[in-house]
Amino acid sequence: MKRFDVIISGGAMAGATLALALDASCGGKLRIAVVESYDFSAQAHPGFDARSIALSDGTVQILQAYRLWDAIQPYATPISRIHVSDRGHAGMTEIEAKQQGVSALGYVVELADVGQVYHRLLQERPAIELFCPASIQTVERTTDEVQILLDDQSSLRGKLLVAADGNASTCCRQIGIDANVHDFEQVAVIANVALSQEHQGQAFERFTQSGPLALLPMTRQRMSMVWCVRPDALENMLDWDDETFLSQLQQAFGWRLGKMSRIGTRVAYPLKLTYRTRAVSHRFAIIGNAAQTLHPIAGQGFNLGIRDIATLVEEIRHYPDDVGCYAALSAFQHRRTPDRQKTMTMTSALVHIFSNAWFPAVVGRNLGLMAIDNFPVLKQPLLTQTLGHVSR
């Protein structure tokens, strides 16, 4: 029987960030267990696969506070400009880093690179113990602690259990906190694209007839592509060879980045909003994709999750002798609810507005984009969310 202060289920982006942030914030005084079911050394770890994510300026500031950014920055590509447009229509708007007084609007990192960094850091921190590969079989809670049984029949005890194990969270299911699911009826096709010219740190969100198409700048003259399409269109796309796919992508996106010269392996993910109305229970907290999994439009997913982490760390610090007490978890829930609801509502609304071919909706959204581009007061909410300067 091993005892810890905090047990974290899930060692991918959210779980590993939480463990390292807690360790840094509490000076290594908390005993932390990270239980991860996939082998970190495996090439196919689903939490650190070939995808890329955009980290907002606000997220970078949080990572800096926990002394994590210096290790990640060498693998990050800065975003200097974001261009938002509706294909075939006049509506568009742009956000530039220089105009906002920041060196970058955000950064793009490849999950595989961050996974290697995090695995090394987790092993270097003496207060963190990694159980990997291991999975949680049962969860039992008493008044003062939580006890989990692993698949090798070993037991861990702690003051707090945190679910950071994705939208199909095993811990949430065992405790009985169900998820609400809204199917966007879209599939995200993800791949890396090589360009024939420099991207100059530009990021693009282009709304096409089939769904949003995002291109994010990466290292080595590449872009990370997320192309959202209807499920019936996916069947044809999977049959395309590289040349056909590039031709269709070029037609949908245009030539703002010049000729797209090569496409990498394509992977498809169904897109659903999955969220739990409660983020806490007795000696139990939920963060990241386990709490809410968003549509990738506007790149808000991990940035919302990092705010979960930062808030939970702040509340835990007030109660070092009992990190899972009611006061800490109640304050965490109270602080996170407005941001979670606002961000989920915003991203879902954008999906429905920009995936609607109804003519009045097309006219309305293009007028909206033009108004945002010309009136700073209308642009401010977009800037706040994009930069991640959101109140917690």
- CA dist., res. 316 & res. 332, Å (int): 9
pLDDT value for 361 = 46
pLDDT value for 379 = 58
Strand partners, 2: 156
pTM of whole model > 0.85? yes
As to burial, measured by CB atoms within 10 angstroms (0-12 exposed, 13-18 middle, 19+ buried), residue 279 is: buried
Closest CA to 223 of 70, 91, 79: 79
pLDDT value for 360 = 46
Beta strands 6-9 and 160-163: pairing type?
parallel
pLDDT value for 165 = 96
What are the residue ranges of helices labelled H in the chain?
Answer: 13-25, 57-65, 69-72, 111-124, 170-175, 231-239, 242-253, 301-317, 326-354, 359-374, 376-387
Cis amide bond preceding 296, omega within 30? no
* Token pair in block for residue 343: 């961000």
Q: Dump pLDDT digits (tens) for 203-244.
A: 998 877 777 899 999 999 999 999 999 999 898 898 899 999
pLDDT value for 212 = 85
pLDDT value for 376 = 56
Ranges in the chain, pLDDT < 70? 41-50, 87-92, 352-380, 382
- CA dist., res. 362 & res. 341, Å (int): 26
- CA dist., res. 114 & res. 128, Å (int): 18
The number of CA neighbours under 13 Å toward the Cβ of 364 is 11
- CA dist., res. 294 & res. 347, Å (int): 7
pLDDT value for 93 = 80
Strand partners, 151: none
**Rounded to 10 degrees, what is the CA torsion of 219, 97, 337, 6?**
40
Q: How far is CA 172 from the centre of its chain?
A: 19
pLDDT value for 206 = 86
**Fold exhibited by the domain 2-61+111-181+273-351:** FAD/NAD(P)-binding domain (3.50.50)
pLDDT value for 61 = 96
